[in-house]
Amino acid sequence: MDTQNVILHARFAPNGTVVEISERPDGLTPQAWFNFLSDKAGDVYQTLAGGRGVFRLTREELTALKQGPRRSRPDQPEERVMGSEEIDVFVICASDEIERGGAKAFSLSRLDASGESRPFPIVVIRSHDNAYVGYVNACPHDGVWLNIGSGDFFTQDRAFLKCGRHGATFEIDSGLCIGGPCSGKNLEPIALAVVDGEVCLCGERLVEDDRPFSAFDDHDETMEIMIHPD
């Protein structure tokens, strides 16, 4: 197996659209290639400062991704197969609003596949090397917020994320549970981009939600920030 690592660099315009990305197949726009990679390999995407981000893949994985759409839908142009539509981009917070080594929770609402509005709690983590990582704020074990109870997202040594209910621990950069009742499962990643000093959420259909916090059963007051699209 070819395990050579390949890093695909993406660069964003101030409005959140992708203007440049590595290893782009001929005939695809940068946005179309980014959309496809986010759909198929979003768990290996890392947001960087300065309107940049990277996908980390093996050469074998990259080759398979480039060939996959041709095999599944040979009757359609590649750009349509990989999704050339514009993605939604929402500002979550200023990049300096989260300190290095810190995390912040946000309570959002998004449309599901049926068009219904559903609670969408997320957490954004800023690493010590200034990378931003985001996950749906729900433990894979029983769906509660990671920061339920104490309001803290980290283990005591701040080396891992943790669930405040049953103590499951997760790698910060991958979301993989390495201990606890959901060991081996992953937090659901979200796509982030840092553009012009603002942390943005990409690819989600957010909606304004005026429901009180009590609508989110079995959760507590540790989720305190509401974000609404313009």
What is the residue whose two structure tokens read 């993989």? 176
Under a CB-based contact definition with an 8 Å cutoff, are residues 212 and 226 in contact?
Answer: no
| Residue 136: predicted pLDDT | 93
CA distance 125 to 85: 28
| Residue 220: predicted pLDDT | 43
Question: Which are the contacts of 48, defined by CB distance < 8 A and separation ≥ 6?
Answer: 54, 130, 131, 132, 194
Task: Note the helical H segments in 26-168.
Answer: 30-41, 59-72, 78-82
pTM over 0.85: no
Closest by CA position to 36, among listed 4, 76, 79: 79
Reported CATH class of domain 90-215: mainly beta
Closest by CA position to 134, among listed 180, 101, 174, 88: 174
| Residue 69: predicted pLDDT | 45
The domain spans of the chain are 5-87, 90-215
CA distance 54 to 133: 12
| 56-91 pLDDT tens trace | 899 888 888 887 544 333 233 333 333 434 567 888
| DSSP secondary structure code for residue 229 in this structure | -
Name the helix (H) or strand (E) containing 230: none
| Residue 78: predicted pLDDT | 36
| Residue 24: predicted pLDDT | 84
CA distance 202 to 200: 6
| Residue 208: predicted pLDDT | 64
Task: Note the helical H segments in 42-85.
Answer: 59-72, 78-82
Q: Between the CA of residue 52 and those of 16, 20, 199, what are the distances in Å?
A: 10, 10, 11
Per-residue pLDDT of the chain (230 residues; tens, 9 = 90+): 456 788 888 888 766 778 888 888 876 778 878 888 888 888 888 887 777 888 889 988 888 888 754 433 323 333 333 343 456 788 899 999 999 999 999 999 988 888 888 899 999 999 888 888 899 999 999 889 999 888 899 999 999 999 998 899 999 988 899 999 999 999 988 888 888 888 888 888 888 654 444 333 444 444 444 443 43
| Residue 230: predicted pLDDT | 38
Closest by CA position to 134, among listed 201, 52, 228, 217: 201
Q: Copy the structure tokens of residue 43.
A: 């768990």
